[in-house]
Structures are given as C-alpha cells and as structure tokens.
A and B are shown apart, each in its own frame.
Chain A
Amino acid sequence: METTQQTESKIIELKPFTDEMVVNMGPQHPSTHGVLRLELRLDGEVVREAIPHIGYLHRCFEKHSENLSYPQIIPFTDRMDYVAAMNQNWGFCLAVEKLMAADETKDFAVPERAEYLRVLICELNRIASHLLSFGTYGMDIGAFTPFLYAFRDRERLLLLFEKICGARLTYNYIRIGGVSEIIPMEPGSVDEQNFLDEIKDFLDYFEPKIDEYNDLLTSNSIFSERTMSVAVMSAEMALSYGATGPNLRGSGVDWDLRRDEPYSIYDRFDFDVPVAKDIPELGAVVGDCWSRYKVRMDEMKESVRIVRQILAEGLPDGPVMADLKAVRPPKGEIYFRSEAPRGELGFYIVSDGTPKPVRLKGRSPCFSALSALQELSRGLMVADIIAIIGSIDIVMGEVDR
C-alpha cells in the first residue's frame, strides 16, 4: 500500500499540472506606456504567450488626412509620437517636399536657415524623447529617482521649445518649405543670441549629467540583472520584424538613416552611430533589453555633439520659409523615411495633383517594433514583459495613429 502511494506521489511531482491562466495586462497599466493591452497566457509565473491588442488610441489619422490639405495635416502628425513631435512634423514635411521637388517646373528649396533650425530643434527633441524613455524605463524596473532627474532636464528643453513655437508638446513648428515664424526671431538679433545662449547653457549643464545617469541607472546592479541577457533580439529577427532605430542598433546592426541615407543637412555634421556590442565582463549580450537602452543613452551624447556643431557655426542669415504659393504636389506617389528617435518614420503619400492627398500612410517605427513583442516574450517571466516594453520604447499614439 505504501509503495503505491509513493509511486503516485512521484508521478504527481514529475507531471505537475497547472491551469493556464489568462491575465489582461492593461490597457490601464502604468508600465504599458499608454493604452496597450497584453493578453498574457500564463503558466504560473512563466509567460506562454503575450498577445498585444492595440487600437485603443486609434484616431483615424489616415482617414482624416484624406480630407485635409497638406499643411493642415502637420498638427495631426504631432499627435502621432507626442513625445518627439518635432521629428514627426519633419518626417511628414520632408515627404511632401520631396514629392513637390519631383515637379521640375517649380523651383523650390528649403532655406538654409530653416534647415539649421530643423536639425537643431529635432536633435534637442531627440534628447527630450530619450530622456523620457530613460526615466520611465527606470521607473518600470523599479527605480523611481531617474524619472525625477530625467523630467527635470526634459522640462528645460520643453521651455526652449515653448520659446521658439509657443507649445510644449504638440508644436506644429516645422512647416512645408521651412519652419514656423509664429515667434519671430530675426537673424543676428538679441532674441536669437539669447535663444542660442540658452541652448548652450543647457548643453553645458546636461552633458555631464549623462554620465551621472549612467552611474545612477545604467551600471546599477539591480537594473542590470533585470535587463541584461533578457529578451535577446537577433539582428535577423530585428530586420524581419522591421525594428528600426535604437532597437535595430541595439541588435548590433550599424544603420542610421541620418548617416546612411543623409537627408536635410546631416551630411555636414560629424557624429557617431552608437551600436550595441557584447560586454562579457558586465554580462550584456547584443540584442538584449540593456543594449537597446544603452544605445539611447549613447545617442543623447551624439545629439549634443550635433547641436554643439550648429552652435559653433551659428545660424545662417536669410528667410526661414521658402517662397511657396500653394502646396500642391504633382500627381504621383512617394515614400520617404527619416530617423525619428524611435526609428524609421516613413510617410507614403499618393497625390493626384490636388491640395489634398489621396492616400497618406504613416509607417510607424513603434508599430513594427511592437509586433516583435509576442515572439520576444515567449517563455519569459511576467516581470520581464515590463522590461521588454520599456526597452523597445513605444508610444501608443504612434502605434495606433
């Protein structure tokens, strides 16, 4: 009798049966960076499947655009990635400008001064976006302090943006053919000098802070334990899923549109493209959550470098807006991509020669990167899901459009 019992209990130990449990994480969850819902199928603490459900922030951007003229669409692009709205404005304007340039009968060029202002503002916006990413990632993992530091510094940038265009988050600053002149800044005036001095003060203050943040979070042992070797995305996988920007560079692919397909005036500046490497003494593997995070930290330094080069050169004289009678691209279609803080932001425009587009599609970097989540999270722990979402740095406004 005793032996039978023993055998039975042995069987139970060898084949433990647990019910699969379905847990909804989100849409109201502080660590899902907005309104993302994950349907988690759990075996105890292990994630068998994490199925993302998106669309909670769908605002019919593409349908709206078909009924608006090109300049009217720019404020809608602000609301895509609302933490890096300058870059969204720019991506859209670049696409329209490229399509307009295809019409050889019209002579049209973005003024030099506008190009410098665009790069200056968008690189500062990239820093602001990466600061938010860094702060919230720390908070997701359980470190509250970096969030306060990051937001303190980001606030200074937002005040700068407010000075130049009057808005803190949704700027509508970059326009087709140049930049907005809503707050006039005459070339060589005191206003311009003050503005540039303020940026310089910020950079002098901010550059040493990056090292401080690296001490605070990047090399923090709890943070490293949670993120290193977690959810490794190989280079092939990243390419296949269309992950771009810091996520792709985090997987070890040396690719940056600013350097490899230079648009605007990026070819005039000297900057490096941070790419993740294996760091055996720390335990970081190319493609893990930590590598993706680290690429963003290093990118902030490069953005500072670009802005410093602009400050050293000074803004050129001249107008900030091209002489455009009407925005009316020729009949045709274009796909243009630019390097936004979250990766490759593409706009596909089909025009029939009228002032409104027939079709406008926004190719969102977060949308593609998020689709890799299901494969990345298979077999990991619930807590790792938080680490993955933070490391791929999504903004739901852009995913859902």
Chain B
Amino acid sequence: MNPEEIYKILSDKFGESVLGLETELAGDPNIQIAPAAIADVCQYLAETGTLAFDSLMCLSGVDLGAKEEELSIVYHIYSMQHRHSVVLRASVPKTDAHLPSVSHIWKTADWHEREAYDLYGFFFEGHTDLRRILLPDDWEGYPLRKDYKEPDFYRGMRVPY
C-alpha cells in the first residue's frame, strides 16, 4: 500500500485526528496526526491485518527552528508482512510537549522515546520508565532544541570550548 491509500484508510477511521498528508516536499510523504490520537492510530496500524505494521524503524524528534514554536515526533513504520512503510508526524507546542507513548505497541519505542525525552524534552504519557538515556541524569535542558543554550559549567567542568 502506498502512503495515499494508508492516509485514506486512516482519515476514514479517525476523521479529524488525521490532519493531512504532506507530499509537496522532496523525499518521503508524511501523514500528520493529532498528538492526542497518535497511540490509537499506531495501535490500529499495528493490529489491522491488511496494514500489519509490525516494526518501528525509527522514532525521531524534530525541531525545525525557533520561529516555529513547535516540536514534532516522526515515526517511520514498516510492515515486514506486506513490505510497505509509512511516515507519521505528530506536532506539539514547545511549552507543552506531551503526547501518548507507543512503547506498548513496539518495544523498541521504549528507548527511542527516552532518547527523544532526553534530547528534546518530549513527555510521553504512559511510558513506564521515562528518564534520561544518553546524557547524565542531572543534566539541565534539552540540547537538540534549536533555542538551547549550553550551561557554562557542569559539575565544575567548563562546557563551551
């Protein structure tokens, strides 16, 4: 199935929670989903026999810049059974970056969501163990946000070089 067909199935099923299909830009088209519905949409994609998206290839946070006060999570999902893939995108405001976790659907999302929390400050509701993964536990701020300013010192060590 191609992204257009999947988009049609999803918008028939979830109505207004499916915000649109981005096809204008180069590369992979992506389906925009309302953040509150992302876990339901993923559950549906994983469990419906004709779709059977059984593997989450990649889950990445994206910050497009300080102008757009918005963070996105991009899900690259693949179906081994039907050999088709789809890209989902859920965008949340920087000030309130909460969205449901998908770690109960694909276990690999557990660490990927921890990484997104660690580097972007997303809060995944329903994630059982949301703590920093790559940075030290006492690190402050979320370094991959475009408006991040590194601290002058970390435990007495100079940070900017």
Contacts and interface: CB of A to CB of B under 8 A. Distances in A.
A317 to B, nearest CB: 32
A332 interface: yes
B31 to A, nearest CB: 13
Interface string B1-44: 00000000000000000000000011110100000000000000
Interface string B30-61: 10000000000000000000000011111010
B97 to A, nearest CB: 16
B62 A359 contact: yes
Given A242-B108, A332-B27, A359-B63, A348 B58 contact: yes
B87 interface: yes
Given A332-B26, A337-B57, A358-B64, A58 B87 contact: no
Contacts of A351: 26
Interface string A253-270: 101000010000000000
Nearest to B55: A239
Given A255-B80, A335-B87, A55 B58 contact: no
B64 A363 contact: no
B80 A359 contact: no
Interface of A: 54-55, 58, 60, 62-63, 98-99, 102-103, 237, 239-242, 253, 255, 260, 329-335, 337, 344, 346, 348, 350-352, 358-359, 361, 363, 367-368, 370-372, 375, 400-401
Interface of B: 25-28, 30, 54-58, 60, 62-65, 74, 76, 80, 83, 87, 106-108, 110-112, 119, 132-136, 143-144
> Do most interface residues of chain A lie in helix, strand or loop, or is the interface mixed?
mixed
B58 A363 contact: yes
Contact of B54 (A239, A334, A375): A239
A400 B136 CA distance: 12
B134 A348 contact: no
A237 B110 CA distance: 14
Nearest 9 pairs between A and B by C-beta? A332-B26, A242-B108, A102-B26, A332-B25, A332-B27, A334-B27, A55-B134, A361-B60, A330-B26
22 contacts: A55-B132, A55-B134, A102-B27, A103-B26, A239-B55, A240-B54, A240-B108, A242-B56, A242-B106, A331-B25, A331-B26, A332-B26, A333-B74, A335-B28, A335-B87, A344-B57, A346-B57, A350-B64, A363-B60, A368-B111, A368-B112, A400-B134
